[in-house]
Amino acid sequence: MSDISAVLSTLDQNLDASLERLFALLSIRSISTDPAFADECRKAGNWLVEDLKSIGFDASLRETPGHPMVVAHHDGEGPHVLFYGHYDVQPVDPLDLWEDDPFEPALKEVEPGRKIITGRGSSDDKGQLMTFVEACRAYKAVHGKLPCKISILFEGEEESGSPSLKPFLQAHAEELKADFALVCDTAMWDRETPAICVGLRGLVGEEITVKAADRDLHSGFFGGAAANPIRILSKILADIHDEDGRVTIPGFYDGVEETPDDVLESWKALGQGASEMLGPIGLSELSGEKGRTALELVWARPTAEFNGIEGGYTGEGFKTVIPAEAYAKVSFRLVHSQDPDQIRASFRKFVEERIPSDCSVEFHPHGGSPAIQLSYTSPLVTTAQTALSEEWNTQAVTIAMGGSIPIVGDFQRLLGMDSLLVGFGLSDDRIHSPNEKYELSSFHKGQRSWARILDALAKNGV
């Protein structure tokens, strides 16, 4: 089998050249939400096609109703991987808040020994996707081949809701299906610690409207006799959590697994406790299930959240009214194998059981998606974890995210592929904001990380 060290030293020697290529890509104004930049999006796509061809990929631009996709394939032994990234970027306004032109990327030394790459898309996602491309380029240069069979999908609509993505995946399932996907659109834990995201919470949204009398009532004439929908709604919401912060809806925890102790230990070691997480927003007490750490609560536990509520008189002053109805917007964050449909059904039953016989309730669904949960100990994860740990000289952590990344769910549902989420962004990269940047160390060691990961995946026959 091949030796990775030659590939790594090649990456080191070619860092300046790789920066020139990245800057060329960053200088293209591929803002996907603004039709005025449609040509720039296409230009970015074409630039990537040509660059991938130069490495030996069979690359082409694929039309969609929106911005085109970049699809590329390269033969190889070992597993077949599909790498995903997006070449489109967020708008740059307010422009006057930028210290440098967002489309004139530059390398800046912000402190001795620390350099950053400035410009829109440097971190989200052009800089990240190029770490993978550069890894392929170096490996190919050294060995004349790639360690795995590699397919690449670069999207041009990620920052505008990915309207063309699902149809494209469905139409090209056969072509794009691989053993697993590699997604480089996430962040490291901190500047020194690489991370693999193995869990993404799912979401179920419901709007409930409780209806009582057929009109608003005067509380003087009916107070104490007629049903008050705000009271009914408050009771329902209050019943959803018990004293220990657990959700009381029957069957809610079906499919929820306990996080492995060693994972919990590794999260504790990250030092992100209640005060670290809540202090910056003016809070100090964990409000969720008792006996769980802050990170476990947002990464690995399901929740019921109340996102909005309204009923009765909400203007200035006071009105002694008993309203005809009141409503609330409720959402559930799901983990592991919780079933969105079953959660929604159980919630509706839970609510209906608490509606007085002479009142009624209306439900309005607001989307539902299951959680994404990879095994913390799958060969895919442990192989990548080892490779990352070797590159960064520190234990790579397996983390989760409280939110969701739609593409990962699409890969799982439409192509039956698990995803390995490895990224080198940092929480202070200011993606979507003025003065976006990407650490040079992220770009450089990111390239080396991918080279190690691809090599290890091949060696381990994952």
DSSP H or E stretch at residue 53? helix 38-55
DSSP 8-state code for residue 439: E
CB-nearer residue toward its own copies: 270 or 321 = 321
- Segment contacting its own copies by CB under 8 A, of 59-67, 178-186, 207-215, 429-437: 207-215
Interaction of residue 383 with its own copies, rule CB under 8 A? no
Alpha-carbon distance 436 to 363, whole Å? Answer: 41
CB-nearer residue toward its own copies: 279 or 461 = 279
Per the structure block, which two tokens stand in for 435? Answer: 């003065």
Q: Which of 8, 81, 153, 286 binds its own copies (CB under 8 A)?
A: 286
Interaction of residue 128 with its own copies, rule CB under 8 A? no
Interaction of residue 338 with its own copies, rule CB under 8 A? no
Interaction of residue 343 with its own copies, rule CB under 8 A? no
Pairing state between β 202-211 and 325-334 = antiparallel
CB-nearer residue toward its own copies: 61 or 237 = 237
Q: Which of 14, 219, 377, 386 binds its own copies (CB under 8 A)?
A: 219
- Segment contacting its own copies by CB under 8 A, of 67-75, 122-130, 215-223, 251-259: 215-223
Q: Which of 231, 344, 430, 459 binds its own copies (CB under 8 A)?
A: 231
Contact positions with its own copies (CB under 8 A) in 233-272: 233-235, 237-239, 241
Q: Are 91 and 102 in contact (CB under 8 A)?
A: no
Least gap, CB of 40 to its own copies (angstroms): 30
Least gap, CB of 61 to its own copies (angstroms): 33
Q: Which of 447, 421, 446, 461 is nearest to 137 (CA)?
A: 447
Alpha-carbon distance 445 to 123, whole Å? Answer: 14
Per the structure block, which two tokens stand in for 316? Answer: 């200035």
* Other beta carbons within 10 Å of 338: 23
9-30: buried (b, 16+ CB within 10 Å) or exposed (e) per residue?
A: ebbeebeeebbebbbebbbbbb
DSSP H or E stretch at residue 159? none
Q: Which of 311, 340, 423, 446 binds its own copies (CB under 8 A)?
A: 311
- Segment contacting its own copies by CB under 8 A, of 45-53, 173-181, 212-220, 436-444: 212-220
Q: Which of 6, 106, 213, 270 binds its own copies (CB under 8 A)?
A: 213
